[in-house]
Structure 1
Amino acid sequence: MYGAQIAFRDFTATQGIWGSDWVGLKHFIRFFNSYEFGRLMMNTILLSVYSLLAGFPFPIILALSLNYVKNVFFKKSVQMITYAPHFISVVVMVGIILEMLDPRHGIVNQLLTMLGMEPIHFMSRPEMFKSIYVWSGIWQNVGFSCIIYLAALAGIDPSLHEAAVVDGASKLRRMWHIDLPGIMPVAIILLILNTGQMLDVGFEKVLLMQNPLNLRTSEVIDTYVYKVGLTSQAMNYSYSSAIGLFKSVINLILLVAVNKIAQKTKQASLW
């Protein structure tokens, strides 16, 4: 919090934080009036919402499916296979993605060629960037994310399932009427936390997947802050700090708003 005041000053390293001139909202206004503002906000929000909507159900579906698997060897094998990608570093993961989507030697384009279709240069098409980013992220994290749902399912009273079986309920009915309500408080908490990180897309994976051809849809707030704050010759620490502070304030507002909605609907909430 002490360093956050850099956003309101023209910070220079020689003068320090307290010695730098106070300029108020100058850097915030500069960002709001910049040519990049609309595009950055649109790309960041679309990527976050896409990731949330597409990625949120899959860990729940995987956890519900694994919960009813009786074969222990098969269950452990699926868990290991789905958990493993989470422990691959971002750099290696992006390298795998680029190799798989390579227009000449990638396995995806080889399959397309075998089907009589023309190879596609996926990473040069701006409209495909978000889908590649989101679905590769789901593949990498779905197994690890379902662990918490498996733990929640383990806490459901077995007598509820026993009574449902006696009444002739199918597995789908038991999932819908017992398992989903049982894990719903956990799901709501995770949804609130994910919504509170709406503008925190992160820059590592996005930056590694960026190229001049897809920059129109791949430039997000985090990569922009990294570029203007650390890689540009001007080293705009105050400007990048103002953008980061703006992003944090918006995330806080979203977190409080979604938590309040959860309280109004009598669902689980953070406080």
Structure 2
Amino acid sequence: MSRSDLPPTRRPGAGPPGTAPPPAVGCRVAVDDSSAVVWLSGVLEPADHDRVRDALLARLGDRPGPIVVDVSGLRSAGPTVDRLLAEVRRTVRDWPAADLLVVDPAGTVSGELAVHATRDGATAALARTPMAAVLTEELAPAVGAARRARELVTDGCARWGVPELAEPACIAVTELVNNVVAHAATPMTLRLAPAGGTLHVAVRDHSRQQPRYAGLAPLTSAGGRGLLLIDTVARRWGSTLLPDGKVIWCVLHTEDESSWHHD
């Protein structure tokens, strides 16, 4: 089943004969819920930038692994599309296993993106993605969520040969999950994946309330240390807003572990 953020038009390469062409102005985003493919069609105007970016980020936040962005239905590509896709890729580079694969038969998309001439080529590349190395768990905002998250992290670190990251990653994921339980109170998705000597952890919730980090908390404070703990054990962390929530992520490095123990 596909869905779109604009009224129904013909999806590139699909749809019965006689259906309407893409809109004369603006960029249409169509998503196939049964696959990783997102279609862009029409004309990408500057006014469309934020809407299309948010749609791509939302799709990346809602499914594990890379997505395929098919731009063959765009009537013009070039620098505007390059900038948009590059921005999305930079935004998600520290999310677990997130990336963009681009279908561009015209060869107009450049930059550092992985571009394929056909959708078959892109989906074949997607199939080679080691998705077995991505763990995902749906969690309710309730007591026990952090415990289940720690179990998943511990199992993943053992499976991926980075047991030294289990302890700091459990500290980080406890704070990520408890932040959702205490402040967002929405269902959440925990996702983690290895990449070389790193572990990427993310929690996606359905609240747009951003976490606040103000550095060291006063000794008299009853709280406020959660983000400080994440900042201590992770080399990088951040929060990305989505149309209906956010993704909070962090990256832990094995080479930092010895210094974390001995500082």
Q: Same fold by TM (over 0.5)? A: no
TM-score by length of 1: 0.23
TM-score by length of 2: 0.23
* Greater share of strand: 2
* Greater share of helix: 1
Structure showing greater Rg: 1
